[in-house]
Amino acid sequence: MIKRIPISALKVGMYITDLNNDWIPHNTQRKKGIIKREETIEKIRRMGVQYVYIDVSRGADCQDSEPAAEVDRRNETALQNAGALKPGYTPRAPLAEEIVIAQRVHSQAQNLVGSFMNNVKIGGAIDVAPIHQLADELQNSVLRNANALSCLGRIREKDNYLLEHSVNLSVLMSLFGSYRKLAADILHQTIVGALLHDLGKILTPDEILHKPGRLTAEEFEVMKLHARHSRDILASTEGIGEIAVITAAQHHEKLDGSGYPEGLKGEEITEYGRMVAITDVYDAITSDRVYHKGMTPTQGLKKLLEWSGDHLDPVLVKQFIRCIGLYPVGSLVLLESGRLGVVVETNDADQRLPVVRVMYHTRFRLPITVETIDLSRPGNQDRIVRAVDPEDYKLDIRKFLI
């Protein structure tokens, strides 16, 4: 049986199945195995890990353990409660119309951020005007219909993670900031900060930045410097506002002080830093990378809830969940009819009833004719049972998003 235990209860002789630290970027540490030395426990503790998962059938148990199924049930309840918060916004444009614009903006964003980073790397002239224009275009697309850019954010290639992550983070911050009704100038700056938050990685050696295997402790310390580099580069760039600099600088800070580059705690982290920390973790843990298989969107949301309080702001986490939906765009869901559908549009009025694109029948284990269904439409009797993992059915949901 898999159980969760507090780090204080971890002992030699226990078998770890999950270090529960996917919130750590570039998390390439070995996650499973028997604990043989006290030094290993201390190393895990220094990471800022609060809870780990153990297999009591393969190692020692303790009285402080809790079945993983109970943890998941509690997270599911918290997820449903978060979805019941006040509604956010209503799309102004049809998805089919906005997706055409969003594809252009998304492609332009990747090219522009890549070009900007290359210019900085070679010491070329820095023109921030196109970045500001891009931030406005991203924001306008989100206001018209956020589902369009959200769909594109789920169609990703793990070998292009750096640029796609930067663009997707800006989309998430745009959606999050809009939901929280940030002032227009502040929202604009948080989007710019999100677009350029990983700019400091241009100073990270390629052999560390692109290493497919586990980073050594020394290599990880070098990798962590990128947040400070991002801050310093942006702070010295004319035309970049203070809030944009703060957003980029604080995207890896954590409430308990285990983050970096400054190890800030609680209210020492700005509102924008706490927001971007949530969006950064969510996008990272739900993305496929060379060394990391991404979680499903729903699994990612539950992890945000689990890490709330210790690492992430619990109030902001619940607001973030409300603004992207119980079943975020790109989620694969099982319907009562036995069909599987990928969520292509959320429903802010009732998050249990999004628009889904069905393509597979679980009872027959066969593909079916692709059909788009609005679960909120009068007369529709189908309902979502739960979110599922595409891997369980060998489905590539990217093929059905647009």
Q: Please write the tens of the pLDDT for every residue from 328-359.
A: 999 999 999 999 999 999 998 888 899 999 99
Residue 92, H or E segment: none
* CB-based burial, 160-171: b 16+ in 10 Å, e otherwise: ebbbbbbbbbbb
Mean predicted confidence (pLDDT) in 197-216? 87
Tokens of 223: 């990798």
Kindly report which listed range (154-158, 322-326, 347-351) carries the lowest average pLDDT score: 154-158
Q: Please write the tens of the pLDDT for every residue from 58-71.
A: 999 998 899 999 99
Tokens of 62: 């303790």
Mean predicted confidence (pLDDT) in 142-160? 87
Give the whole-number percent of the chain exceeding pLDDT 70.
Answer: 96
DSSP-derived letter for residue 270 is -
Tokens of 10: 């971890």
Query: The tokens 């499903």 sit on which residue?
Result: 296
Residue 102 pLDDT: 95
Q: What are phi and psi of 206, to 5 degrees?
A: -55, -35
Those residues with Cβ within 8 angstroms of residue 205's Cβ, 6 or more apart along the chain or in another chain = 222
Count, residues in the chain: 402
Residue 162 pLDDT: 84
Q: Per-residue pLDDT for 314 more than 60?
A: yes
Residue 89 pLDDT: 66
Q: Per-residue pLDDT for 25 more than 90?
A: no
Residues 285, 295 contacting (CB under 8 angstroms): yes
Residue 92 pLDDT: 86
Mean predicted confidence (pLDDT) in 22-44? 80
Q: Where residue 49 falls among pLDDT bands split at 50, 70, 90? A: confident
3-state helix, strand, coil in the chain (%, to 5): 50, 15, 35
Mean predicted confidence (pLDDT) in 20-45? 81
Residue 367's identity, in one-letter code, is: P
CA dihedral 141, 145, 147, 149 (to 10 degrees): -10
Return d(Cα 31, Cα 52) in angstroms, integer: 10
Return d(Cα 141, Cα 46) in angstroms, integer: 42
Mean predicted confidence (pLDDT) in 67-92? 84
Tokens of 164: 């796609």
What order do you get walking across the sheet with 332-335 strand by strand?
A: 366-374, 355-361, 339-345, 332-335, 384-388
Q: Where residue 225 falls among pLDDT bands split at 50, 70, 90? A: very high
Residue 180 pLDDT: 94
Residue 217 pLDDT: 81
Residues 323, 146 contacting (CB under 8 angstroms): no
Averaged pLDDT of the chain: 91
Residue 161 pLDDT: 81
Q: Where residue 21 falls among pLDDT bands split at 50, 70, 90? A: confident
Q: Where residue 209 falls among pLDDT bands split at 50, 70, 90? A: confident
Residue 81 pLDDT: 85
Residue 155 pLDDT: 86
Residues 208, 222 contacting (CB under 8 angstroms): yes
Those residues with Cβ within 8 angstroms of residue 369's Cβ, 6 or more apart along the chain or in another chain = none
Select from 329, 321, 307 the least CA-distant residue to 99. 329
Partners of 332 in the beta sheet?
Answer: 342, 388
Q: Per-residue pLDDT for 111 more than 90?
A: yes
Residue 142 pLDDT: 94
Q: What are phi and psi of 6, to 5 degrees?
A: -70, 150
Q: Per-residue pLDDT for 265 more than 90?
A: yes
Q: Is the dihedral of CA 184, 187, 192, 193 positive or negative?
A: positive
Q: Where residue 30 falls among pLDDT bands split at 50, 70, 90? A: low
Give, rounded to a whole angstrom, the gap between the first and last alpha carbons of the chain: 40
Return d(Cα 75, Cα 386) in angstroms, integer: 14
Q: Per-residue pLDDT for 272 more than 60?
A: yes
| DSSP code per residue over 5-47 | EEGGG--TT-EEEE---TTSTT--S---EE---HHHHHHHHHT
Those residues with Cβ within 8 angstroms of residue 359's Cβ, 6 or more apart along the chain or in another chain = 340, 341, 342, 367, 368, 370, 395, 400
What order do you get walking across the sheet with 15-18 strand by strand?
A: 33-34, 15-18, 51-55, 2-6, 66-67
* 381: exposed, middle or buried (Cβ count in 10 Å: 0-12, 13-18, 19+): exposed
Q: Please write the tens of the pLDDT for every residue from 237-263.
A: 999 999 999 999 999 999 999 999 999
Residue 175 pLDDT: 94
Tokens of 178: 């809009």
Return d(Cα 6, Cα 364) in angstroms, integer: 43
Q: Per-residue pLDDT for 52 more than 70?
A: yes
Mean predicted confidence (pLDDT) in 70-77? 92
